[in-house]
């Protein structure tokens, strides 16, 4: 399995909560998955 196959499989399994973005920074999925997309605590 190549990298594109891995991404395709991940999109199938993690949908609709995770969009399997190229950069997992939590901007696209904010508010959909607990723990993902939550801004870091600033103390």
The values of phi and psi at residue 35, to 5°, are: 95, -30
Residue whose tokens read 């909560």: 17
Q: Is 43 domain-assigned?
A: no
pLDDT tens, N- to C-terminus, the chain (43 residues): 899 999 899 889 888 777 888 877 777 777 776 656 556 556 6
Q: Is 39 domain-assigned?
A: no
Number of domains in the chain: 1
Q: Is 38 domain-assigned?
A: no
Q: Is 7 domain-assigned?
A: yes
pTM over 0.75: no
Domain that holds residue 7: 1-33
Q: Is 40 domain-assigned?
A: no
Look up residue 5 and give its two tokens: 């196959």
Cβ proximity of 19 and 29 under 8 Å: yes
Cβ proximity of 37 and 30 under 8 Å: yes
């Amino acid at each position: 399995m190549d990298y594109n196959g891995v991404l395709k499989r991940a999109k199938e399994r993690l949908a609709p909560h995770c969009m399997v973005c190229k950069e997992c920074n939590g901007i696209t999925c904010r508010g959909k998955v607990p723990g993902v997309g939550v801004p870091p605590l600033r103390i």
